[in-house]
Structure 1
Amino acid sequence: MIKSTRDSGTSPPTGVFVPVPTFFHPASSSNALQAKVDVETQVKHSIHLAKNGIRGLVLLGSTGEAIHLSKSERFELVSGVRKGLSDAGFPDYPIMAGVLVNSVDEVLEWLEDFTRAGAQWGLVLAPGYFGLAANQENLKEWYTVVADHSTIPILIYNYPGVTNQIMVTPETYTHLAQHPNIVGCKMSHGNVSYHVQVSLDPEIDHEKFRVYSGFGQQLGPIVYFGAAGVIDGLAAMYPKTVARLMDLAEKRPTEPEALKEIQTIQYAVSRAEEFIGRWGIVGIKEGVYRVLGMGTLEGGRLPLKGKLPEGEWGKWHAATSRMEELERSL
């Protein structure tokens, strides 16, 4: 196993990260079984985000369809984005890479590959194949073994919707936050109490252990109470608006004018997030294509191939037009 070239335990910055979708060439452009990864568009989109207030990327998370890519494709994508960002003047731009498998040995293989490719952190999904049968003590041990041997610092990724409803409890976060190579978590669920408990826990060093939500509709409320930020899919389309909300919330202002702006943007973001919640990866990809002109209308890889139903994008005009107006104003 290789040794990391970065200091163990280095924490990611606060702010908005984007769980970027993985871009593919049109299926019709290749005779292969699956559409090929489009690294050029991936880089273009990443640079756009870096230039518009986004403080970091999550490559190959759930939105990035890591489970649909081969080992070589994952390496090509992460290394390609790292090179593209460096060439564009962002040599140390923050990159987390998603690890979505259950076997400890395979998790460590992914992390080693991502270290070689240039990611600074691994976002490691809770091993939820057996769901609630994986008790909290075993989760603690699993993450500890991974962190002990990982070549880069890791974050705990709790997404009950793809892990048979497994839920990491605040007590487990408190325990794992003490590990020098575990530097944060992403909670992709609606239990705001868990976000607040972990963000304010006096037994956790919050300069070292960062708490992120997977939902932009929670951004203002949780950042006001200590969270580090969000890893938010809507920001793939409207980066400046979500980043502006983060910048304001992070200052925790009390003056009426600033509070009014936060409320206005949070309302717009929360309304538009309903589209993300309804259509997920396919919706994000179509949104990026329609708003930024990047990618295709062919969705992801099977079984996520396809586009929105005819007329569906137009049904969300009230929410998306509000976001577009804000984005243009910033």
Structure 2
Amino acid sequence: MTLPPASPFGRALCAMVTPFTASGALDLDGAQRLAGQLVARGCDGLVLSGTTGESPTTSDAEKAELVRAVREALDGRGTVVAGVGTADTRHSVELARAAEKAGADGVLVVTPYYSRPPQDAVEAHVREVADGCGLPVMLYDIPGRTGTRIEPETVLRLAEHPRIVAVKDCSYDFLGAQKVLARTELAYYAGCEEHILALYAVGGAGYVSTVANVIPEQLRAVLDAFDAGDTARAARLQRAAAGLIESMMAAGLPGAVTAKALLGALGLPAGPVRPPLLSARPEQVADLRDEYGAVTAQPW
């Protein structure tokens, strides 16, 4: 069987929440405990300070502290990718250098938001970040949040940079992803859980998942079944997670809110979200618990 291209950060990556204390302070002990558990339960690596990690509301110092703490907790058992994307190129470069100094294995660079730069400016932004540090770069294409895509032709040009090695794809452009896969060696990670198996089947590298905060074993099992040649099982497992994926990612609440709600209900480190986000209401938590129970009750 033909396996997917080399996955520079592993195959099964969790977009980890950033645990806070009840008062809203950074909970480094909780982050270390959660990180250790996620890797023990099947994650090859963790992506910190991304969308699910509430990066807009954590300080530069907190981001660096989080990388150091998680790096220490993992002790070489998994990769650490640090989100460094901002709307300001100079600030993004500073965060990339700080992440490198703190021990990250790579950086996640999102398209600059709000200013909606044209494609030549997007390309220049990413190149400057890649040139500004020594770490491999994962592009983060999520136009639904940033307002700006990294168009396939732009990705093709960026793929020529020696340190740009991967893409977290939340574009919902499956054809565009296949076009890039056919013409580059970039590692494509599904950033939308409903696409995990589909993207992997056409040569993707794996996934970067918010839902993996709560069902890391089950999502990993999708990839393992496909690699074992049991495509029918892989498809069944992908479908089995669909209800929870919808409840966490497509039912009106941000993934950071739903992931923290479920982690808290399961007794795992999470804490509240920071404003402007609001924590899930009790009835919303109950619904999430029901979907979680339905998924975990199935044979995996």
TM-score (normalised: structure 2): 0.91
Aligned-partner residue type, residue 149 of structure 1: G
Q: What TM-score do the two structures reach when normalised by structure 1? A: 0.83
Letter in 1 for 2:39: A
The answer to whether the 8 A contact 2:100-2:133 is kept is no
**SS at structure 2 position matched to 1:185:** strand
SS at match of 1:311: helix
190-199 or 279-288: bigger deviation? 190-199
Match of 1:173 among 155, 164, 186: 155
Q: Is the 8 A contact 1:95 1:120 kept in 2?
A: yes
On the 8 A contact 2:87/2:115 being kept in 1, the answer is no
Verify: 1:197 aligned to 2:170, yes or no.
no
Equivalent in the alignment of 1:239: 216
Determine if contact 2:169/2:189 at 8 Å carries over to the other structure: yes
Q: Which residue of 1 aligns with 2:169?
A: 187
CA RMSD, 1 decimal: 1.9
> Does 1:224 pair with 2:201?
yes
Structure 2 alignment gaps of length 5 or more: 1-5
Counterpart residue number, 2:42: 53
Q: Separation in 2 of the partners of 1:54 and 1:194?
A: 27
Give the match's secondary structure for 2:241: helix
1:125 to 99, 110, 115: 110
What is the match of residue 214 of structure 1?
Answer: 191
Go from structure 1 to structure 2 and tell me whether the alpha carbon gap of 1:287 and 1:137 turns closer, same or farther (over 3 Å shift).
Answer: same
**C-alpha contact 2:127 2:158 (8 A) present in aligned 1:** yes
**Contact 2:113–2:146, Cα closer than 8 Å, also in 1:** yes
Asked if the contact 1:67/1:100 (under 8 Å) is kept, the reply is no
Unpaired segments ≥5 residues, structure 1: 1-9, 28-34
Residue matched to 1:154: 137
Q: Give the equivalent residue in structure 2 for 1:322.
A: 294
Q: Tell me what 2:258 maps to.
A: 283
Higher-RCO chain (CA-CA 8 Å, sequence separation at least 6): 2
* 1:107 counterpart = 2:92: yes
Q: CA deviation at 1:268?
A: 1.6
Paired with 2:127 and 2:19, the residues of 1 have a C-alpha distance of 33
- What code does the residue aligned with 1:128 have? Y
**Contact 1:14–1:210 (Cα < 8 Å) also in 2:** no
- Residue 281 of structure 2 corresponds to which residue in structure 1? 309
Aligned residues: 292
Task: Give distance in 2, aligned partners of 1:317 and 1:64.
Answer: 21
Q: Specify the SS of the correspondent of 2:282.
A: coil
1:211-268 per-position Cα deviation (integer Å, ceiling 9, x unaligned): 11211110111100011111011111011000111222345x2xxxx23311221112
